Chains A and B, each alone.
Chain A
Amino acid sequence: MIVFKYYFKVAKSWFPMILIYTLIFVSLAAITSTSGVQASDVFQADETNIALINRDSDTKFTQAFLQYIKDSACYVELADDEDELRDALFFRKVDYIMIIPKNFTEDFFNQKDVKIETMEVPDSYNSIYSQKLMNRYLNIAKIYVKANISQEKMMENIQKDLQAHSDIEMKSLMQDSHIKDAASFYNFSNYTLLAIIIVVTTMVMLSFHEDHIMKRNLIAKVSLSNFHLQLLLANIIMAYGVWLLYVVASFCLYGQTMLTNQGLLLMLNSFVFVIVILVFSFLLTTLTNNKRIIDGISTVVGLGTSFIAGAFVPQELLADFVLNIAKLTPSYWFISNNNKIAQLTSFSTENLQPIMLNMGIVFSFALLFYICIQVVNVRKVKK
């Protein structure tokens, strides 16, 4: 097992990089999954972020309006400063900014035509919704004014009016809230698994391919087939070692969820995906011995597939033509399978069939790459 041992001696120098990648990745996953909304069987309205800049004096009416914002939306406090308002809007810290003009309260009660200036993202869901929400308060206030009811009485009653809410029933689909996070963890792992496994296995393999080392190995006692077998074994262990690291990380983050059938399917899915990565790395090392070219290819493949196949931006947000290109990569099938697994509600054969089919497609990419390797090798021998 001398080759096997030597492989890991070389691979050792890559361990810090593997650890750094994994740590960054896991901490990113931890941040994003804790901020997610928990699914529940009680309806939760989406709260838009609304800011109020009051240039009127601090009247009872504006106070009540502010209270209404706090009750029905998420109030964001911003300073009355053009730059700050603009930045907050651009980065969507706030969806709707209202600027109450001077003498607004007085004009409103005198039934003058008053307007509140707003800043918002045009035609977006959140801004249209916010506008409706805020208009509602002012319209109800308006009818009190028209009916000539005093300010105090109006404040009293308007509070009660706005507490009238519809009766809502949630027909919830039974779903584990963590499974979606786990699926996006595995989606994101498309990038890290590709980047790490390709770089480590190819770089170590290339050091075996160096001319003088290759020659030395050829005259050694270990037979060529044994030599290759040991290398293969080492590569498999290396790749699945990295895979195991991620599985362990997913257990740390999502615990029990990973032990459900869905969790196990996610693991199986990525297990199959690692086969493809491994065969692909072999293909790279048969194609070229140039470390820099492989470095470039692995970065481009890792980032590229992650962008177009839905690891970074969810698949439902990608354009159709992008997804069609992505279908030519195994990443697409791996990621769409993760999403399908997360949506599973029952485990009938009917439901599991498409998932198995996707895994089959991923595996057939491995076969395809393997055939390529053989073709390249046959050509090399002929030369």
Chain B
Amino acid sequence: MHTFLYQLKLLLRDKTTIFWTMIFPLILATFFHLAFSQLNSNEAFEPAKLAVIEQKENQGLQTLLQELSQDNDDQLLDVQYVSLKEAQTLLLDEKIDGYVIVNDSLKLVFQDNGIAQTIIQSVIDSYLQTTHAMTSISQIDYQGFLSLVQEKINMDTNYFQSQNISSLDTTVVYFYTLIGMNCMYGGFFGLKISSLTEANLSRQGTRMNISPTSKWQMILTGTIAGFLCQYASMIILLLYLYFGLHVAFGNMLSYILLLTAIGTYVGITIGNLIGNIFRFHENIKTSILTASSLFLSFLSGMMIVDLKYIIQEYIPVLGYINPVNLITDALYALYYYPTFDRFYVNVIILLVMGLLLSVISILLSRRKKYDSL
């Protein structure tokens, strides 16, 4: 208990580590939030702005355009009737996406490629194609054509029924990778503990080693102290994400707490391992840890979200051995999937990974004796 308290104190007094594990993720989360606040609304639909120049009246087209520009949820177009000159200036000033000249044939004028132009083209095409189809039918079977005209057939039947999938906000993945990264930052504490308990790594370590406390006890209390520190900063981060930035998590609080606890544990063991394997100065070990956790986060989609999917599709193994990705994927599964299967797969792999790393760490550091201190 005594050693535990001192280890806790030592960890808490290390301001740099506290900054990187507690403050830095909060700052990064804020930046993510600021940068992505409008990203998803950008996908939302806005009617394409079209100007029509009628050099010849076309009743059919007029009706179609009017239907499509009705002010409702499905409004596809925003139509105005102007002269050619006006249309040209409007286009140059980018007030409209394009214009159509209605004569014996239809001619579209754009100055950009884009989705709005594609929609305009699609509307005009659909008019042309329907007209063409009617002509074809009248040639094949005039009787059938006549009955069609009499029936006033609806060309806008919707053949689709949406499954209404929700929770499709891609930006949440960025925040999930951040949580994953912060778990790895638990490694800073793990690293610190290994230098506090090994006699050749720090003054405290030297003193601890000549004390009668067993190594087991030192590592155990150290790990618990580190875990508490890191888990506290995880909870601060989660609270901030949830209440401060309103990041969607899918209302599974207890699962998330469990997941981050395991994640933190894995992070600490990784730090511990780095501390035990390498024989460098502590600063270099910290750099190794920072670089590797950033790289793992990068592979989980922190910088480019698609990367996570690409890895999952083409090199799935890489996703399963990357702890940051496992955490990200588990959170993603909670948010997006109706079942828990995927979440549990991730959690179990993570747990096995943590235990394995612990065993290696213990094997490396046990029976280490120093001839002279």
Contacts and interface: CB of A to CB of B under 8 A. Distances in A.
Nearest to A303: B31
A300 B108 contact: no
B305 interface: yes
Contacts of A162: 129
Contacts of A83: 342
Contact of A91 (B27, B153, B308): B308
Nearest to A144: B137
Given A149-B144, A173-B111, A142 B157 contact: yes
A132 B126 contact: yes
Contacts of B91: 171
A122 B166 CA distance: 8
A170 B37 CA distance: 34
Given A39-B113, A90-B170, A136 B129 contact: yes
Contacts of A118: 160-163
Contacts of B42: 317
B162 A120 contact: yes
Contacts of A91: 170, 305-306, 308-309
A134 to B, nearest CB: 7
A92 B170 contact: yes
A138 B157 CA distance: 9
B119 A89 contact: no
- Chain B contact-residue range equals 35 or more
A146 interface: yes
Contacts of A87: 309, 312
A350 interface: no
Interface stretch (A1-9, A40-48, A367-375): A40-48
B110 A170 contact: yes
A149 B155 CA distance: 17
A133 interface: yes
Interface string A14-50: 0000000000000000000000010100011110000
Interface in A191-246: none
- Most chain A beta-carbon neighbours within 10 Å: one of B136, B148, B170: B136
Contacts of B122: 45, 129, 132-133, 136
Given A132-B126, A171-B109, A157 B43 contact: no
Interface stretch (A56-64, A278-286, A305-313, A329-337): A305-313
A172 interface: yes
Contact of A43 (B113, B155, B168): B113
Contact of A164 (B24, B38, B129, B305): B129
A43 B165 contact: no
Given A91-B170, A166-B125, A135 B136 contact: no
B163 A122 contact: no
Given A122-B164, A157-B140, A46 B118 contact: yes
Nearest to B162: A118
A129 B118 contact: yes
A322 B35 CA distance: 8
A153 interface: yes
Contact of A90 (B107, B141, B168): B168
Given A133-B122, A167-B108, A169-B108, A307 B35 contact: yes
B158 A135 contact: yes
B72 interface: no
Nearest to A129: B119
A318 B43 contact: no
A306 to B, nearest CB: 8
A312 B165 contact: no
Given A89-B168, A296-B19, A124 B309 contact: no
A383 B38 CA distance: 49
A166 B124 contact: yes
Contacts of B55: none
A157 B160 contact: no
Nearest to B41: A319
Given A124-B43, A125-B45, A131 B160 contact: yes
A81 interface: no
Contacts of A138: 157, 159
Contacts of A171: 91, 109-111
Contact of B136 (A88, A116, A129, A157): A157
B37 to A, nearest CB: 5
A327 to B, nearest CB: 13
Interface string B308-344: 1100100000000000000000001000110000100
A165 to B, nearest CB: 6
B117 interface: yes
Interface in B111-139: 111, 113-115, 117-119, 121-126, 128-134, 136-137
A147 B146 CA distance: 9
- Most chain A beta-carbon neighbours within 10 Å: one of B76, B114, B160, B165: B160
15 contacts: A43-B113, A86-B337, A90-B336, A91-B309, A120-B165, A133-B122, A139-B157, A147-B148, A157-B133, A167-B105, A169-B109, A170-B109, A300-B27, A319-B38, A322-B38
Given A120-B162, A143-B134, A322-B35, 13 more contacts: A87-B309, A135-B157, A135-B158, A144-B137, A147-B140, A164-B128, A167-B106, A169-B109, A170-B109, A171-B111, A308-B34, A319-B37, A322-B34
Interface of A: 37, 39, 43-46, 83, 86-93, 98, 114-126, 128-129, 131-136, 138-140, 142-144, 146-149, 153, 157-158, 160-162, 164-173, 292, 296, 299-300, 303-304, 307-308, 312-313, 317-319, 322, 325
Closest 3 CB pairs of A and B: A147-B144, A91-B309, A307-B31
